[in-house]
Amino acid sequence: CAVLSCALSPLRAASSYTPLEAVIPFSFTKADVEGASYEFVIEPLDDVSPAPKQDTVTLDGTGTSAFVIEITEPGTYLYKIYEKKGSNSDIIYDETVYTVTLFVTSNDEGTLEYQVILAKEGMVKPTEVAFINDAVRKPDKKDPIVKTGDTGETVQGTACGFLAAGALLLLLAPIKRKETDYEE
């Protein structure tokens, strides 16, 4: 888990606390595919976590964005952020799911403050929410792979030839020895 710096944006409201906007930034690197757009989603993980102002952000280029959640009282709020897999078969979509914990407290003056704690599977302390997509690599049609022939039959034929020659030598060696034994 990592603590992101907190940014307070107080709003006016008729409650015991002045609401604030908790901002959860994220970055995104798009795949090198023309005309693609990407959707990022934030979902509360329980019934007590306030809904974000916007639960889906759509981007069409590399950059940054943020989810904003209005907080009206202290508490611990849980969310998950992920990229929604698109339908473009030329893109390898990032499958990372971040768990976001908002710790909201009240300071001595009664003002709400928050910290963002991140977690993701396989990483102890992520410092940011970042998604990276890639393009599916396809063979270049300009440089096709040229078939040069099947060498399997040639190799088999050569191997058989060597085996036959070796067997013939083994058969002829005892005959040659016998002829030499008779001459003595």
Q: Are 42 and 24 in contact (CB under 8 A)?
A: yes
pLDDT of res. 168: 60
Mean pLDDT of 106-129: 89
% of the chain surpassing 90 pLDDT: 50
Among 76-90, 108-122, 161-175, the minimum mean pLDDT is found in: 161-175
Range of the domain at 131: 2-135
Mean pLDDT of 76-82: 97
CA-CA-CA-CA dihedral for 181, 182, 183, 184, to nearest 10 = 60
- 131 found inside a domain: yes
Q: Can you give the CATH number for the domain in which 126 is found?
A: 2.60.40.3050
- 77 found inside a domain: yes
pLDDT of res. 182: 58
- 17 found inside a domain: yes
- 36 found inside a domain: yes
Whether the pLDDT of residue 141 is over 90: the answer is no
- Of residues 154 and 53, the one with the higher pLDDT is 53
> What total number of domains does the chain contain?
1
- What are 90's two structure tokens? 């030329």
> If you average pLDDT over every residue of the chain, what do you get?
81
- 111 found inside a domain: yes
Whether the pLDDT of residue 9 is over 80: the answer is no
* Band of pLDDT at residue 48, cut at 50, 70 and 90: very high
- 35 found inside a domain: yes
pLDDT of res. 154: 62
d(C-alpha 169, C-alpha 139), whole Å: 51
Q: Is 109 exposed, middle or buried (0-12, 13-18, 19+ CB in 10 A)?
A: exposed
3-state secondary structure of 144: coil
* Band of pLDDT at residue 35, cut at 50, 70 and 90: confident
Amino acid at 20: L
3-state secondary structure of 111: coil
- 43 found inside a domain: yes
Query: For the chain, what is the radius of gyration of the CA atoms?
Result: 35
Residue 92 DSSP code: E
* Band of pLDDT at residue 143, cut at 50, 70 and 90: low
The model scores a pTM over 0.75:
no
- Of residues 78 and 178, the one with the higher pLDDT is 78
